[in-house]
């Protein structure tokens, strides 16, 4: 039974109204009113769970998101994520999370996944993990690309939270991609290509006054100053190194205490 999720959706709608956040959304008709579907969403910010759940809510559906296990371990965030019936996945061993996602989909749920696996510092589409295609193929459900634009201005990595009013968020929901799982790499490449085209449309259609030249939230190819894909990948590699270093230090400390 869902209690907290609908309340949170209502609170988000109030936030949009009070904050004068304009949602420009197209393609919501591609989300089925019943039955399972997997939404493949680009990842720009920490509020993407809210924005990517908006299309399903507009169709009377709740979206169950796949998220890294660490979020569920948080003393505050964990209970909230579980109350929403989201799906934890272990980065080092994702089989259990993928199996749970397939079960949700086969039971008729809408499931959301971020195939880039982390926030894109360049705000362009990073390389996608093939697990997205494999989950949709195994579950036998539509794979629907969803692309967001503008959420990075609110709360993203390396930038201050900005809850100021008068922002526009672009959301495009694309038609379902046919996937069989027979060639996950090729089908993932097709998914990425479609998401890149959708992102290009959203950026070009965004209000110009919200994207002045040199903006940190705008990719360099569009006149902004965000890191390039290559620069962003180097930043991500450093994050992985530091994360591994912290885990090793924790294991060492745990052994000493034992």
pLDDT band of residue 57 (cuts 50, 70, 90) is very high
Q: How many other C-beta atoms lie within 10 A of the C-beta of residue 51?
A: 25
Is the pLDDT at 130 greater than 80, yes or no? Answer: yes
User: Would the CA dihedral through 112, 201, 123, 26 be positive or negative?
Assistant: negative
Is the pLDDT at 76 greater than 80, yes or no? Answer: no
| Diameter over CA atoms, the chain | 59
* CATH H superfamily, domain 4-213: Glycerol-3-phosphate (1)-acyltransferase (3.40.1130.10)
Quick: pLDDT tens for 3-41.
889 999 999 999 999 999 999 999 999 999 999 999 999
User: Would the CA dihedral through 232, 236, 237, 241 be positive or negative?
Assistant: positive
Is the pTM value of this prediction over 0.95? no
User: Would the CA dihedral through 121, 215, 160, 54 be positive or negative?
Assistant: negative
Quick: pLDDT tens for 171-224.
999 999 999 999 999 999 999 999 999 999 999 999 999 999 999 999 999 999
Token duo for residue 199: 């992102």
pLDDT of residue 256: 80
The span from the CA of 107 to the CA of 100, in Å, is 11
**Residue 176 C-beta-side C-alpha neighbours within 13 Å:** 16
* Distances 128 to 133, 135, 156 between C-alpha atoms, Å: 10, 13, 19
More confident residue, 92 or 240: 240
The span from the CA of 189 to the CA of 179, in Å, is 12
- Going from N- to C-terminal start, the domains of the chain cover 4-213
Quick: pLDDT tens for 78-122.
888 888 989 988 766 567 778 999 999 999 999 999 999 999 999
Is the pLDDT at 1 greater than 80, yes or no? Answer: no
């Amino acid at each position: 039974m869902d209690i907290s999720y609908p309340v949170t959706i209502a609170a988000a709608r109030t936030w949009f109204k009070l904050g004068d956040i304009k949602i420009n959304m197209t393609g919501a008709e591609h989300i089925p009113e019943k039955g399972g579907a997997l939404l493949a969403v680009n990842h720009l910010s920490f509020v993407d769970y809210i924005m990517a759940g908006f299309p399903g809510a507009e169709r009377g559906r709740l979206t169950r998101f796949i998220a890294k296990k660490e979020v569920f371990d948080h003393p505050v965030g964990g209970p909230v994520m579980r109350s929403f019936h989201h799906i934890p996945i272990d980065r080092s061993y994702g089989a259990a999370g993928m199996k749970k996602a397939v079960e949700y989909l086969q039971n008729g749920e809408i499931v959301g996944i971020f195939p880039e696996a982390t926030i894109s510092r360049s705000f362009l589409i990073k390389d996608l993990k093939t697990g997205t295609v494999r989950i949709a193929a195994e579950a036998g459900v539509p794979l629907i690309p969803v692309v967001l634009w503008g959420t990075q201005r609110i709360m993203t990595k390396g930038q201050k939270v900005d809850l100021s009013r008068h922002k526009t968020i672009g959301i495009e929901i694309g038609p379902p991609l046919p996937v069989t799982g027979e060639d996950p790499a090729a089908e993932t490449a097709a998914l990425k290509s479609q998401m890149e085209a959708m992102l290009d449309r959203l950026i070009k259609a965004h209000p110009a006054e919200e994207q002045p030249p040199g903006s940190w939230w705008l990719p360099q190819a569009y006149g902004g100053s965000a890191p390039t894909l290559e620069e962003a990948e180097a930043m991500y590699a450093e994050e992985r190194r530091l994360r591994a270093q912290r885990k090793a230090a924790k294991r060492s400390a745990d052994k000493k205490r034992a």
